[in-house]
Structure 1
Amino acid sequence: MKVQTSMRIEESTFNEAKAILASLGMNFTDAVNIFASMVVQAKGLPFEVKLPNAETLQAMKEAESGDTLPIDLEAMRKSMVK
């Protein structure tokens, strides 16, 4: 027996997802049903969900602020050849 449900999703995300799914030969409902089946099969989300660690958070902060050191790719390449 099937049940009906409703959900809220950003309109732009919904429209883009529908277009991608249509190119795969399925509709949004098909994709949600596949996702739900995979959640049941995996007994959780069917992909890894992680919070970034402190090192990753620091790197993200530096990248966003532009406080990164310039990289000398040639020097890096030479150090790897040794």
Structure 2
Amino acid sequence: MAQSAVTVRMDSEMKTQFDALCEQFGMSANTAFNIFVKAVIRSRSIPFAIKGSPSALDLFMQQRNAAELSNEPELSLDEINEEIRAARTEMRKKKGVKA
């Protein structure tokens, strides 16, 4: 089968650590990358969890759950709107913008 070269850029300290670990495993970094690629192809997935920042919906649900568990009294719509107005006023002051 024909061979292709792949170039991977990484921090030099990280490469040194990776090379040392691969050596302890009895393989080269090239072999380790080939094992990784074969595992990805075989499973059709990355063989470890990759997580990003929580979505806006996740953050909302966390806040909602926290609110349901708290002993804080519920706010009326007028109280919520007043808090929003106060927060916006404070943000404008920090930015030096007049209302």
| TM value normalised by structure 2 | 0.50
Aligned pairs for 1:27-46 within 5 A: 27-46=28-47
Aligned pairs for 1:1-80 within 5 A: 1-51=2-52, 53=54, 54=59
Q: Which has the higher contact order (CA 8 A, sep 6+)?
A: 1
Unpaired runs of at least 5, structure 1 = 56-82
Unpaired runs of at least 5, structure 2 = 63-99
1:6 Cα offset (Å): 0.9
Kindly name which structure, 1 or 2, has the bigger radius of gyration based on alpha carbons: 2
Aligned residues: 55
Per-residue CA deviation, residues 22-43 of structure 1 (Å, 9 max, x unaligned), is 0110010000000000110121
Report the Cα distance in structure 2 between the residues aligned to 1:51 and 1:19, rounded to whole angstroms. Answer: 29
Report the Cα distance in structure 1 between the residues aligned to 2:22 and 2:37, rounded to whole angstroms. Answer: 16
Report the Cα distance in structure 1 between the residues aligned to 2:9 and 2:53, rounded to whole angstroms. Answer: 27
1:52 Cα offset (Å): 5.4
1:16 Cα offset (Å): 0.3
Identity over aligned pairs, percent: 22
